[in-house]
Amino acid sequence: MIATVLGVGSRMETKRKPMFGDTLYMVTSGRRLNGPVENEYPVTVIKVGRKFFTVVTTGKWPMEVQFHLEDWKQVTEYMPTHYLYESKEVYNLAVKRASMMGEVTQFFREYSAYVVPKKRLSDTQLETIYNIVMEVTNENTD
């Protein structure tokens, strides 16, 4: 779930440049023998360079993690396990957005031409959805 939530998509988002001493919100995801694990930490920016910046967790065992300046993605040769947000509220909005997108995707998957839907959209509802999709599609091609 977390990788889906935090994977911003194909479009690259440019984030603000963090400043030394900024407090950000980091979510760590991974898999353990007994299932997925997610941890949440407030972190502090301790280094800002030309291409990367470093944050550190507070607590008994501090952990330093390096991120790219332009998109705040973890610097790693492997799949990232740490994701940064401006605050917990921004993270919660990303989770909510991913949940809503999942519900919409599931609805249209079930509403496909190959499955007889239990409930049908009215012509007005279908036109409204079509207009929204076309608006977003045209914005992304510009």
pLDDT by residue (tens digit) across 60-117?
888 999 999 999 999 999 989 899 999 999 989 988 998 898 888 887 777 765 666 6
Flag whether 138 is in a domain.
no
Q: Which residue spans within 3-138 are E strands per DSSP?
A: 23-32, 35-48, 52-57, 64-68, 82-85
Tell me how many domains the chain contains.
1
Residues listed for the chain? 142
In a domain, 15, yes or no: yes
Question: Mind listing the pLDDT tens digit for each residue in 26-74?
Answer: 998 876 555 566 788 899 999 999 999 999 998 788 899 999 999 999 9
Dihedral angle at the C-alpha atoms of 90, 94, 100, 103, nearest 10 degrees? -160
Task: Compute the distance between CA of residue 120 and CA of residue 61 in angstroms, rounded to an integer.
Answer: 55
Can you read off the two tokens belonging to residue 96? 């909510």
Report yes or no on 140 lying in a domain: no
Task: Examine residue 118 and state whether it is found in any structural domain, yes or no.
Answer: no
Provide the residue range defining the domain that includes 6.
2-92
Asked whether residue 65 is assigned to any structural domain, the reply reads yes
Q: How far apart are CA 59 and CA 1, in angstroms?
A: 26
User: Within a domain: residue 10?
Assistant: yes
